[in-house]
Amino acid sequence: MMNKTLNSEQGTGDRKMQNQMQQILPALSPRGFTPPSEERRENSFSWRPNDGGASSRKGFTPPSEERRENSFSWRPNDGGENPRQSRGFTLIETLVAISVLLDSLAGPLSIASKALQSAYYSRDQVTAFYLAQEGIEYMRVYRDQNYLANPPQNWTTGISNCFDVACNVDFPNFQHSVCNGGACTPLLLTTNGEKLFNTVSGDPSIFTRSVTLKHIAGNADEMLVEVTVSWTSAGIDRTFKLTEHLFNWL
């Protein structure tokens, strides 16, 4: 009598659990999940070896215990879909993701390339400025040496051949020469570790410098020094020009 009461209470509890699961399961994904109601219908009567528990006899497992063990089960459910189609959609999604990734990388890479070009241009522009300033200092030093000579010489002695023509200046060797046809040759860069720009020895550099002196109308004690430095960077021709007025102050 006691066993019948327990089985009745147990069956009532199973039915309540079944009703609750039927309310929850529709919200879950229909793919791959088998509701407990179907699982229980398939396993309502199954024959398997029993461990001899008190709730069963001679190897028969009651449906209530079978339902408790299979309340939640996961098994493949094709749902009527073609697996090849699913794999095809996955490939398309992968290609789209790769395209989006490449597009997102194109912008930063382009910005980095432009920034690198700007850095190279800034470096070359600073070098060109110092080369132009060196050309002006060369003419100033020549003027001052004429003052210090014994006896003093004319302030344009030694550099008068650069008036109205382009000259190539070599400051480390302290010499200059008139450019043939107005076109000066590129400066050479020494390879002995000092890295000096000159016109005697070294590897050709990207910089070309020309220095030109000009008279000032109405003032014989003033001249204009004009230095032009040109180079090519990233396939673009660059030019830097610097001017200075020198005076005969002696």
Residue 67 maps to a domain: yes
pLDDT band at 54 (very low <50, low <70, confident <90, very high): very low
Which of 49, 79, 109 is where one domain is finished? 79
> Same domain, yes or no, for 39 and 129?
no
Distance of alpha carbon 249 from alpha carbon 144, whole angstroms: 10
pLDDT band at 245 (very low <50, low <70, confident <90, very high): very high
Residue 211 maps to a domain: yes
pTM exceeds cut of 0.85? no
Is the confidence at residue 31, as pLDDT, over 90?
A: no
Across 41-45, 75-79, 230-234, the highest mean pLDDT is recorded for 230-234
Residue position matching structure tokens 């109205």: 164
Distance of alpha carbon 134 from alpha carbon 228, whole angstroms: 11
- Compute CA distances 55 → 5, 155, 193, whole Å: 13, 126, 97
Q: Write out the residue range of the structural domain in which residue 62 sits.
A: 2-79
> Same domain, yes or no, for 150 and 238?
yes
Could you read off the pLDDT of 107-142 as tens digits, one per residue? 888 899 888 888 999 999 999 999 999 999 999 999
Residue 33 maps to a domain: yes
The 10 Å Cβ neighbour count of residue 157 is 13
> Same domain, yes or no, for 73 and 142?
no
Give pLDDT, residue 194: 85
> Same domain, yes or no, for 156 and 222?
yes
Could you read off the pLDDT of 223-237 as tens digits, one per residue? 999 999 999 988 889
pLDDT band at 21 (very low <50, low <70, confident <90, very high): low
> Same domain, yes or no, for 134 and 232?
yes
Give pLDDT, residue 153: 93
> Same domain, yes or no, for 136 and 243?
yes
Per DSSP, 161 falls in state: G
Number of domains in the chain: 2
> Same domain, yes or no, for 134 and 26?
no
Give SS3 for 235: coil
Is the confidence at residue 5, as pLDDT, over 90?
A: no
Q: Average of pLDDT values for 197-206?
A: 95
Residue 169 maps to a domain: yes
